[in-house]
Amino acid sequence: MDLSPFDTEQIGIKTLEKSLIKTKSERSLKIGLPKETSNDERRISLTPGGVSILAANGHEILVEKNAGINAHFSDKEYQEAGATISYSAEELFSQSEMIVKVAPPTHKELQWMQPNQILLSALHLGHTTKEFIHTILEKGICGIGYEFIKSEDSEFPIVRMMHEITGSMSVQIASHYLENSSNGQGIMLGGISGIPPATVAILGAGITGEYAARTALGYGAQVFVMDNDLAMLRRLENALDRRIITATANHQYLSTAMEFADVVIGAAMTEGERAPCWVTDPMVQSMKPGSVIVDTVIDQGGCISTSVPTTHSNPIFKKYDVVHYCVPNIPSNVARTATHALSNVIVPYLVDLGEAGGIEGCLWKNTALRNGAYTYKKNLTKKSLANQFDMPFRDIEVLIASQI
């Protein structure tokens, strides 16, 4: 088979299709893909290629009209892949056994959800409310959160994909807001001969921090990475051939870095928990006028005290003469790439769900989805959420084993 070198988008899909198209699943599922309506969300969880795999496995896919339009997937493509187009969001929710979406359900969508449905979506820990959790529990919905899905190798596959995109995009965004046209300092990240490059301080040595560092180095910037996990800093130094400068994220080093940085990328977080706040107001106040902060963990609460969530339609604000970009869903701005990334990870889970004959069997066999479940059989199953909202919880493995 001849593949154009420019046809990179299709390579992963063809590989995925080859490995996943099987005989009919043990159980056919009705899976609903609603159109995203919140916070300028442009992604959709499944591509037409992903839908074709699920349809080949005997599942029925309902796609709301124009659900993929912002990621440049047409209704016709979904229909040709085997989906049925639904012209009413409320009808789609009422007819589906499982809802697969990107953002958490809105208040209206939550009212449309049916008792005992399965919900696969992000949870956005920084903005989840006790009322949301109560409604999910009362309806007996099995909630599986993208942030919690962890495979046997301790990787968070969906989070990792989105963090790779977010890290790369954060530096691209910062570069734009340093330009005069954006009322920035009017400097280049990489500098030129005889003129030193800009300084980029990255808070957090995780996946987002790594891809931000890789991109910033690609621009030619001087890159500092700070974290309190020395093992992660060593790993990143080795991965990037010691082209970065690392430091522990204590008050002294953070204060110094903020004074000199032209760009600060906030990427400090712990998976499944709210982001730690490392940067104080006085630190931001000490930054150079026209410098740029991109807080990539704002959906987890943010790691910079001055950060407030913004949207793609109104992405920035200034405080202490520092530009703040705090959009929770950065990958949404490259919706087609992000949708392919989501679909490649999600489709195998949905195939496994059908092969296992339902959610109970699948949660027992599939470590990643079991880790991802935060509500099951009207029980909260995540200790971090229980602590956050002062609610009781029960371990998911105990619930499954006792067949409650």
The residues carrying an active-site annotation are 124, 299
> How far is Cα 398 from Cα 404, in angstroms, rounded to an integer?
9
- Measured between its terminal Cα atoms, the distance across the chain in Å is 51
| Three-state DSSP state, 59 | coil
Q: How many CB atoms lie within 10 A of CB 106?
A: 14
Contact (Cβ atoms closer than 8 angstroms) between residue 183 and residue 291: no
Contact (Cβ atoms closer than 8 angstroms) between residue 292 and residue 178: yes
> How far is Cα 389 from Cα 385, in angstroms, rounded to an integer?
6
Residue 268 CB-density burial (10 A; 0-12 exposed, 13-18 middle, 19+ buried): buried
H helical segments located in 220-334: 230-239, 251-260, 281-285
Residue given tokens 């199953």 in the structure block: 381
The CA distances from residue 393 to 137, 146, 368, in Å, are 11, 19, 19
